Structure 1
């Protein structure tokens, strides 16, 4: 599928502010960037590309600033989670996958281990367990904007049973890790998401590969364009700053090309 994406951001920065910006889609085998353009303030920017294809911009800005990205991305026929897939033994996991078994700031999987194993361990193979987790979240957690804050973790979402995409993603990650299934968070542009915004989804490692799933079930995986992936939302924010700033406007659009 060929998808057109854009992000138009306007912020007020109070004094000289260091900014890490991640709004460019990753350059990876499962998505090809056909064309793109950036709108950035006229200051020096450092551009970094990780081995995974994740792209990061770093700069120092101040005052009222406009930031933007537009691009046309071909994500081919994005592979969907298969009907079945084995869980890998720890000894067989690649080194770069191992960290995604461990608890992280927003995904305290150790605190949910007893519940996860009592509820999902008998579901079947790796894919069956993942789908059992996703079904449980769909049945028991409500999508409620404003029900959480930036500091909300998966354990709190498990208790309150409400949140937004990052909360659904954190809970899915924590439950999967508690079941010994590597899981991580991904930020994406998502086709058919209403209202349009940056979206957080889950990636799970089963059957020797990473697979993207959306615990909120608000957007089709086929229309998603990956921006970044890591342990949890703390590592994949579209913008990180070293001091407070104010949002003036933020507009995300995603459409079929």
Structure 2
């Protein structure tokens, strides 16, 4: 699918502070960037880095005052598909080394606290069937609601509150998958048909020899996702991280089908 993505972020940095942006479409296998532009207003001197494993890119800069960043890209995201129930789960000894870190608890995903729950709730299911059962449970038990969570909310808190936004759904999905012995990692993305448009948090699971994209909110089709960054949880994939405080002036994200 060919998609045109655009992000405009205007923030006020007072006092001046160092900042890291993760808003570029990634140079991911199967995802091709056909064209892109980046502009700062006023102009800012920045450093761009690219992750060798995922092709995820970051911008680093020292920001002062009100600064607007506009990023646009046309991306061919390949042929993404939803997770089938019949894909198999691997024994840990058969996993690739890159997947092992995504079995462990992380800052927002305390999977070591949910072993008993997943055993009782999801019974004898494994692999794709287990992941789909987890998604069904999240859909039935967690409300999508703004204002319930904040940047410190963990999956354990979401499990208690039974409400949250995309990052909370993703953290809970990752947590329950890891507690089931399935590697799971957080993905930030541009999402076609997401309403209202925004940066979107989803996740991937390693099953049947590959990574499968999952949107635990069900708000955007997997086929219309453009990957930005990848990590253990939201701490690794935030679109903006600053050393000191900052204030949002305006922010707008759009994702549209691009004409051939």
TM-score using structure 1 length: 0.97
Shift of 1:44: 2.3
Find the counterpart in structure 1 of residue 117 from structure 2: 115
Match of 2:171 in 1: 170
CA displacement at 1:89 relative to structure 2: 1.0
Structure 1 position 145 matched with structure 2 position 146: yes
In 2, are the aligned partners of 1:30 and 1:78 still within 8 Å (CA)?
A: no
Instruction: Return 5+ residue gaps in structure 1 as ranges.
Output: none
Answer yes or no: is the 8 Å Cα contact 2:146–2:165 preserved in 1: yes
| Bigger mean CA deviation after superposition, 75-84 or 65-74 | 75-84
Does the CA-based 8 Å contact 1:20-1:59 persist in structure 2? yes
Deviation of residue 16 (structure 1)?
Answer: 2.3
Residues in 2 aligned to 1:138 and 1:248: alpha-carbon distance in whole angstroms:
33
- Secondary structure at 1:97's aligned position in 2? helix
| Counterpart Cα distance in 2 of 1:30 and 1:192 | 21
Gaps of 5+ in 2: none
> How much does 1:172 deviate?
0.3
Q: 1:237 corresponds to which residue?
A: 238
Q: Secondary structure at the match of 1:53?
A: coil
Give the aligned partner of residue 6 of structure 2.
6
Compute the displacement of 1:90 (Å). Answer: 1.0
Please give the root-mean-square deviation of Cα atoms over the aligned residues, in Å: 1.0
Give the distance between the partners of 1:179 and 1:29, measured in 2 at CA.
27
1:68 positional shift:
1.2
Count of matched residue pairs: 256
Deviation (angstroms), 1:82 = 2.7
Distance in structure 2 (CA, Å) of the matches to 1:44 and 1:76:
33
Counterpart in 2 of 1:106?
Answer: 108
Residue 205 of structure 1 is matched in structure 2 by 206
Aligned-residue offset at 1:45: 1.2
Q: Give 1:34 deviation, angstroms.
A: 0.4
Q: What is the alpha-carbon distance in structure 2 between the residues aligned to residue 121 and residue 94 of structure 1?
A: 26
Secondary structure, aligned partner of 1:76: coil
Q: Deviation digits for residues 1-26 of structure 1, max 9, x if unmatched? A: 10110000100001321011110010
Give the corresponding residue for 2:94: 92
The aligned residue for residue 224 of structure 2 is 223
How far 1:50 sits from its partner (Å)?
0.7
The alignment's TM-score, normalised by the length of structure 2, stands at 0.96
Paired residues of 2:89 and 2:208 also in contact (CA < 8 A): yes
**Pairing 1:193–2:203 present:** no
> Which consecutive aligned stretches of 4+ in structure 1 deviate over 3 angstroms post-superposition?
none
CA contact (8 A) 1:22 1:55 kept: yes
User: Shift of residue 67 of structure 1?
Assistant: 0.7
Deviations 1:141-193 (A, max 9, x none): 00011111110000010111100000000000000000000001100000000
